[in-house]
Amino acid sequence: MDTLLVIEDDPGIQKQLKWCFPQYEVVMAGDRKSAINALRRHDPKVVTLDLGLPPDEANASEGLNVLQEILALSPHIKIIVITGNDDKANALKAIALGAHDFYQKPIDDDILAVIIDRAFVVANLEAENNTLKQSSLEANGFIGNSPQVQQVCRMIDRIAPTEITTLILGESGTGKEVIARAIHTKGPRCNQPFIAINCASIPEHLLESELFGFEKGAFTGAHKTTAGKIECADGGTLFLDEIGDMPYPLQAKILRFLQEKVIERVGGRQEIPVDVKIICATHQNLEQMMEEKTFREDLYYRISEITIQNPPLRDRDQDILLLARYFLQQASQQNAHKITGFSDDAIRAMLQHNWPGNIRELQNKVKSAVIMSDSKLITALDLALHTTDAESEPLALNLRQVREDAEKQAITKALSLTDGNMSNTANILGITRPTLYSLMDKYMVRNE
């Protein structure tokens, strides 16, 4: 049941409102202190706030102060301010500060119920939307809600509108090209070409002509003038994947292009201006390569105006299962197999595995497992993964241990902040004093 917090100092109105909304769990508060304690304890989605609360220490705008304090603690909460007939100015000020809506007395139960119901609808929709965004960051081409992935997505959003040259670092199979495409798609060049070239996949003697193009007769087999990848990207984005594998002699020519934004085709003499946004990527350690004189220092600083570190899958443990289920759904549709999920041993095996091949390895494992599985659940054997005896404890026990450790740490910190005051500690934690005593006994936390 959703919780409605009513902040009202008039006992008559409190009684009126308490029985008007049986569909909600109604919590009452008569002043700022009890309101903040109730907010922490019950975490309501919607609050009604009487702007005419009695002043605290001669402060005439106590209602607005409570409004700001609530929004500071819970920015997404929906606050409906209730004012007198002659207090429209403060109501508008409350809206400007972040209140969701306002209602003027005298209170009509039916009208106020419509406003409150609408606020709950908006709050639930926003919560659902935020959950979807956290669990599947599809706008950037990612699936995952780990802090590392969210940080990458924030960087993409900042970089996309700019013309800054970006270097993406990460192991093979982590999705560096996905990041590059996301930057292109979310930027002003999204309707222009996105041209990708893998510097490691083309033989050294062909890479220059592939990048810069060539004039007719420039070499044996050059039967006609051909534009290179850089020219083809004019107006759009050029993605130089695995730039760390680019031959050393060619790096000087790429550096000149990056600085001057002009190229010369192989066998040509004419400078051709090209307007492109540059994104580079590599799994190599470029700093070490500079020390070994296999990668130009000046080129490194030119391509790394901003750097994105793409995390390996083993550092995104909470995303492994999200990705696995996504790949399972894809593979099941492609192979018309009715597989519903993963067995416990498969989940343990995936969480224990180091994933040296990263996301690409996970995708391949799931694809092959869908083909090999004879049941509705994929097992560790289907994935060709194995769990160790030392870590074969059921997952629920591990999750419970994490929760218990977090609770013990939070209680200890709260006691420290309140100098051992049990009432204040319970308020900060959003629990009752009996619950606090029970948890302290459970975790053997002493109030010293």
Residues pairing with 268 in the sheet: none
Given this model, what pLDDT does residue 135 score? 47
Given this model, what pLDDT does residue 402 score? 76
Given this model, what pLDDT does residue 132 score? 54
Given this model, what pLDDT does residue 399 score? 64
Q: With a cut of 60, say whether residue 17 has pLDDT above it.
A: yes
With vertex at residue 391, the alpha carbon angle to CA 389 and CA 395, rounded to the nearest 5 degrees, is: 130
b vs e for 352-372, b when ≥16 Cβ sit within 10 Å of the residue's Cβ?
bbebebbbebbbebbbebbee
Given this model, what pLDDT does residue 104 score? 87
Give the span between the Cα atoms of 365 and 54, in whole angstroms: 65
Q: With a cut of 90, say whether residue 181 has pLDDT above it.
A: yes
Average model confidence (pLDDT) across the chain: 86
pLDDT band at 390 (very low <50, low <70, confident <90, very high): very low
pLDDT band at 57 (very low <50, low <70, confident <90, very high): very low
Q: Report domain 399-443's class.
A: mainly alpha
Q: Which two tokens stand for residue 70?
A: 């609530």
Q: With a cut of 60, say whether residue 427 has pLDDT above it.
A: yes
Q: With a cut of 70, say whether residue 310 has pLDDT above it.
A: yes
**In CATH, 141-311 is 3.30.70.60:** no
Average pLDDT for residues 274-293, to the nearest whole number?
95
Average pLDDT for residues 6-11, to the nearest whole number?
88
Closest C-alpha among 64, 179, 137 to residue 323: 137
Which overall architecture, per CATH, does domain 314-391 show? Orthogonal Bundle (1.10)
Are 238 and 230 in contact by the 8 Å Cβ rule? The answer is yes
Give the span between the Cα atoms of 178 and 308, in whole angstroms: 12
Q: With a cut of 60, say whether residue 382 has pLDDT above it.
A: yes
Given this model, what pLDDT does residue 337 score? 73
The reply to whether 3-134 and 141-311 are identical in fold is yes
pLDDT band at 130 (very low <50, low <70, confident <90, very high): low
Give the CA dihedral 97, 52, 70, 127, nearest 10 degrees: -80
Average pLDDT for residues 276-305, to the nearest whole number?
95
In angstroms, how far is CA 226 from the centroid of its own chain? 43
Which residues are within 8 A (CB) of 34 and not within 5 positions of it... i.e. 6 or more apart?
none
Q: With a cut of 90, say whether residue 301 has pLDDT above it.
A: yes
Given this model, what pLDDT does residue 387 score? 63
Q: With a cut of 70, say whether residue 61 has pLDDT above it.
A: no
CATH number of 3-134: 3.40.50.2300
Q: With a cut of 60, say whether residue 320 has pLDDT above it.
A: yes
pLDDT tens digit sequence for 269-283: 889 999 999 999 999
Amino acid present at 317: D
Given this model, what pLDDT does residue 329 score? 85
Q: What is the 3-state secondary structure (H, E, C) of the chain?
A: CCEEEEECCCHHHHHHHHCCCCCCEEEEECCHHHHHHHHHHHCCCEEEEECCCCCCCCCCCHHHHHHHHHHHHCCCCEEEEEECCCCHHHHHHHHHHCCCEEEECCCCHHHHHHHHHHHHHHHHHHHHHHHHHHHCCHHHCCCCCCHHHHHHHHHHHHHCCCCCCEEEECCCCCCHHHHHHHHHHCCCCCCCCEEEEECCCCCHHHHHHHHHCECCCCCCCCCCCECCHHHHCCCCEEEEECHHHCCHHHHHHHHHHHHHCEECCECCCCCEECCCEEEEEECCCHHHHHHCCCCCHHHHHHHCCEEEECCCHHHCHHHHHHHHHHHHHHHHHHHCCCCCEECHHHHHHHHHCCCCCHHHHHHHHHHHHHHHCCCCEECHHHHCCCCCHHHCCCHHHHHHHHHHHHHHHHHHHHHHHCCCCHHHHHHHHCCCHHHHHHHHHHHCCCCC
Give the span between the Cα atoms of 440 and 417, in whole angstroms: 16
Q: Which two tokens stand for residue 282?
A: 């590599």
Helix-helix angle 344-352:317-335, to 10 degrees = 130
pLDDT band at 18 (very low <50, low <70, confident <90, very high): confident
Give the span between the Cα atoms of 184 and 179, in whole angstroms: 9
Closest C-alpha among 53, 96, 95, 45 to residue 74: 45
Give the CA dihedral 132, 134, 139, 144, nearest 10 degrees: -110
Q: Which two tokens stand for residue 334?
A: 């492609």
Domain boundaries, given as residue ranges, for the chain = 3-134, 141-311, 314-391, 399-443
pLDDT band at 178 (very low <50, low <70, confident <90, very high): very high
Q: With a cut of 80, say whether residue 360 has pLDDT above it.
A: yes
Q: Which two tokens stand for residue 331?
A: 């593979």
Are 47 and 79 in contact by the 8 Å Cβ rule? The answer is yes
pLDDT tens digit sequence for 188-219: 999 999 999 999 999 888 899 999 999 988 88
Given this model, what pLDDT does residue 276 score? 95
Give the span between the Cα atoms of 443 and 302, in whole angstroms: 55
Which residues are within 8 A (CB) of 260 and not within 5 positions of it... i.e. 6 or more apart?
none
